[in-house]
């Protein structure tokens, strides 16, 4: 599971450094982006994901919070794809923000 791979100290929560590692690996898989853009994307993703994942507001992401968010995003993405079959002009960040706000749930 993704959570377990990035919970380096295996304490059942991801802190900011662990979230940053997750997003850095994700963004680095996009070779067409400049390094400065990748750095900015990682910084924004860490901030946004902490807000989205951290439901109890303790500054950490528990495994349950991560799994619940991922499940909701998956369901929302399925709904979005059914209603938007042409993904050629997809703004992934915009779509994920809409899903996290409950638009496609």
Query: Domain limits of the chain?
Result: 2-100
Considering the domain 2-100, what is its CATH architecture? Orthogonal Bundle (1.10)
Q: What is the mean pLDDT of residues 45-62?
A: 86
Q: Which of 27-31, 69-73, 94-98 has the lowest mean pLDDT?
A: 94-98
Q: Is the pLDDT of residue 76 over 90?
A: no
Are 56 and 65 in contact, with CB atoms under 8 Å apart? yes
pLDDT band per the 50, 70, 90 thresholds, residue 2: confident
Return the SS3 of 18: helix
Kindly list the distances between the CA atom of residue 95 and the CA atoms of 5, 6, 76, 77, 99, in Å, as whole numbers in the listed order. Answer: 25, 24, 9, 8, 6
Q: Is the pLDDT of residue 56 over 60?
A: yes
Model pTM greater than 0.75?
no
Whole-number pLDDT of residue 102:
62
């Amino acid at each position: 599971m993704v959570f377990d791979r990035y919970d380096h100290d295996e304490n059942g929560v991801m802190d900011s450094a662990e979230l940053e590692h997750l997003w850095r690996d994700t963004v680095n898989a996009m070779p067409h982006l400049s390094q400065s853009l990748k750095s900015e994307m990682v910084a924004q993703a860490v901030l946004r994901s902490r807000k989205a994942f951290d439901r109890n507001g303790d500054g950490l992401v528990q495994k349950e919070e991560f799994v619940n968010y991922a499940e909701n995003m998956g369901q929302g993405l399925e709904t979005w794809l059914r209603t938007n079959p042409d993904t050629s002009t997809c703004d992934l960040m915009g779509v994920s923000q809409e899903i996290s706000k409950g638009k496609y749930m």
